[in-house]
Amino acid sequence: MTVLGIETSCDETAAAVVTGEGRILANLILSQLDEHRPYGGVVPEIAARSHLDHIDRLVGEAMEQAGLAFADLDGVAVTAGPGLIGGVFVGVMTAKAIALAWELPFLAVNHLEGHALTARLGAALDFPYLLLLVSGGHCQLLAVEGVGRYRHLGGTIDDAVGEAFDKTAKLLGLGYPGGPAVERAATEGDPEAFGLPRPMLGRPGLDFSFSGLKTAVRHAAQGAGLLDNPEGDPQRRADLAAAFQAAVGDVLAERCTKALALFAERYAKAGPLVVAGGVAANRHLRARLDAVAASAGTRLLAPPPALCTDNAAMIAWAGVERLRLGLTDPLDFAARPRWPLEDLAARAAASPG
């Protein structure tokens, strides 16, 4: 089985070809970073236009690299939401055109499901597993019971983790995108140099909150003369980045410890703990979660960093997983700007395939 995957939901134009055994035959990503950098964030109109300019060529290159013709494919998978709708449209129209022209099954993939299933791409991982999904727009703890079967255990009540990284980077003048910039700065910093809060720590339940931490970072930055000040002390800036990252690490570690206990109780299984989404590329956080999993007598499974941040291999793989179960979609499937993972369960149950 071979599936073409297309991803255009944010600021990466991506195309990939993946086999049923989880071999990645091509995985191309065209970042629009330089186009959005002057604005300090993603501009939806610029993103959509740029996807339109590049997607055809990128798909062609992916097919060439995979050494395949469209007729050799078994399906076309595309991110059909959630995301910036202009970009999602571009990907969906491209995928539908290919599916229609070559009479191939069409697979409308939920971007979050792409992240959620990536750990199964190229690694032995059975359902169920506990998933911490941390990206630019999401922060959720889920029990992954199967393809299309996600049970919400907890989530953020305000900002997503990636968003907190991005805002912290902006406050400290570390540039865009924020996550990798904060991680880089933090390697030179002393996490103890600033006292920051650990929101929700010790609270019942499995929810998260990051907006208070963001405000605390702003106050600390102001106090240290770092706010909107490119001339600020680089060591203090690194210290604050490290303190922020450590605070996030403490919160994620505590919530995951509790989630593993709950998961073990509900599913009579110790784990494993899987982390996915762009923030899962962070080495400090991976190390913290690795220790959490080990303490709970299980292991942490984290995709390689390049498969944590947005890519099309994860979309192609989710397509493989859905195609195997006969979960294909009609060509009139409408792109969705909002599409909670929990909605997939209802869709799977209603699917004729």
Q: Does 11 bind Zn ion (CB under 5 A)?
A: no
Q: By CB under 5 A, is residue 12 in contact with Zn ion? A: no
Number of C-beta neighbours around residue 196 at 10 A: 20
Environment class of 213 (CB within 10 Å of its CB; exposed 0-12, middle 13-18, buried 19+): buried
CA–CA distances in Å: residue 192 to residues 125, 171, 186, 236: 37, 19, 12, 11
Contact between 7 and Zn ion by CB under 5 A: the answer reads no
In DSSP terms, which residues pair with 31 in a beta bridge?
A: 12
Name which position in 154, 180, 272, 303 contacts ligand KG4 (CB under 6 A). 180
When binding is defined by CB under 6 A, the residue of 17, 62, 243, 281 that contacts ligand KG4 is 281
Binding span for ligand KG4 by CB under 6 A among 40-48, 89-97, 179-187, 199-207? 179-187
Distance (Å, rounded) from C-alpha 80 to C-alpha 111? Answer: 7
Burial of 92 (C-beta count, 10 Å sphere; 0-12/13-18/19+) = buried
Kindly tell me which residue out of 177, 189, 191, 303 binds ligand KG4, with binding defined by CB under 6 A: 177
| Smallest distance, ligand KG4 to C-beta of residue 133, A | 9
Residue partners of 64: CB distance under 8 A and separation at least 6: none
Cβ proximity to ligand KG4: between 105 and 162 the closer is 162
Q: Is 26 in a helix, a strand, or coil? A: strand
Among candidates 59, 62, 67, which has minimal Cα distance to 98?
A: 59
| 282 binds ligand KG4 per the rule CB under 6 A | yes
Q: What is the CA radius of gyration of the chain?
A: 20
* 178 in contact with ligand KG4 (CB under 6 A): yes
137 in contact with ligand KG4 (CB under 6 A):
yes
Answer for the pair 121, 22: CB distance below 8 angstroms, yes or no: yes
Closest to ligand KG4 by CB, 116 or 281: 281
Contacted by 55, from Zn ion, ligand KG4, none: CB < 5 to 8 Å by type:
none
239 makes contact with Zn ion (CB under 5 A): no
Q: Taking CB within 5 to 8 Å according to partner kind, which of ligand KG4, Zn ion, none is near residue 178?
A: ligand KG4
**How many helices (H) and strands (E) would you count in the chain?**
12, 10
The site map against Zn ion for 122-141 (x = CB under 5 A) is: -------------x------
Of 23-31, 151-159, 287-295, 308-316, the window that binds Zn ion (rule: CB under 5 A) is 308-316
Q: Measured on CA atoms in the order 346, 349, 352, 353, is the torsion positive or negative?
A: positive
Q: Is 271 in the site for ligand KG4 (CB under 6 A)?
A: no
Contact call for residue 154 and ligand KG4 (CB under 6 A)? no
| Interface with ligand KG4 (CB under 6 A) | 10, 135-137, 162, 165-166, 177-180, 183, 277-279, 281-282, 309-310
| Interface with Zn ion (CB under 5 A) | 135, 310
